Amino acid sequence: EFLYCDLASMKSIRQFVQRFRAKNCPLHVLVNNAGVMLVPERKTEDGFEEHFGLNYLGHFLLTNLLLDVLKQSGTHSHKARIITVSSATHYVGKLHLNDLQSRCSYSPHGAYAQSKLALVLFTYRLQHLLTANGSHVTANVVDPGVVNTDLYQHVFWVVKVVKWMTAWLCFKTPEEGASTSIYAAVSPEMEGAGGCYLYNEERTKSADIAYDEELQRRLWTESCKMVGISDEASRLP
């Protein structure tokens, strides 16, 4: 069943959550998968830089507004699961806490990489909070690999030509790209496992900076301010 949700609009996200709640359905799996890549400098309707606003803040707000439903739906033996799709680009990403909107100097590559690093930091902090609360919910982050989708529409024309010529050899199909997200969502092997970075259906190491707990906390607090929700996590270690 389709419900409309524009991840680039805080209003749309809140309306979506209201419509979903009205159905009184359980929520066992949430996959955060929306994204843009290398778009020219522009803002969402809420005034956020588009990479950061859509790729990261939209998922941050959506997940937080659905957390209580996820907690109610999970059980000791079958935990609810949150899967967030990041990218290997996060390895070269830098988080500029004083300029999350990339106002000082905009770079499509830098803004995209920052948004993907933010998703990893968010996932690790979220799992820490879920564990501290004893919630029957796990949070993991996925790297789908290089997938042949329309995500590359804003790259240079030369790159588009190379992609067109080599996609059959170097790129995953959308189905192949989705496999690790599906693995994280339904595999019995992932039952109860949280705070993992997954690539090709295996746990692997993310960027060193992503494990910085102080950075995780600071990003979480700032994100709460930006989307207008209370930072209940501030009362936890």
Instruction: Enumerate the active-site residues.
Output: 112
Lay out the sheet containing 137-143: strands in order across.
29-32, 80-85, 137-143, 197-199, 202-204
Contacting residues for 146 by C-beta, under 8 A, at least 6 apart: 170, 171, 172
* CA dist., res. 62 & res. 12, Å (int): 10
- Tokens read off for 140: 């993991």
Residue 2 CB burial class (10 angstroms; 0-12, 13-18, ≥19): exposed
Closest Cα to residue 144, out of 99, 181, 169? Answer: 181
- Tokens read off for 39: 């778009």
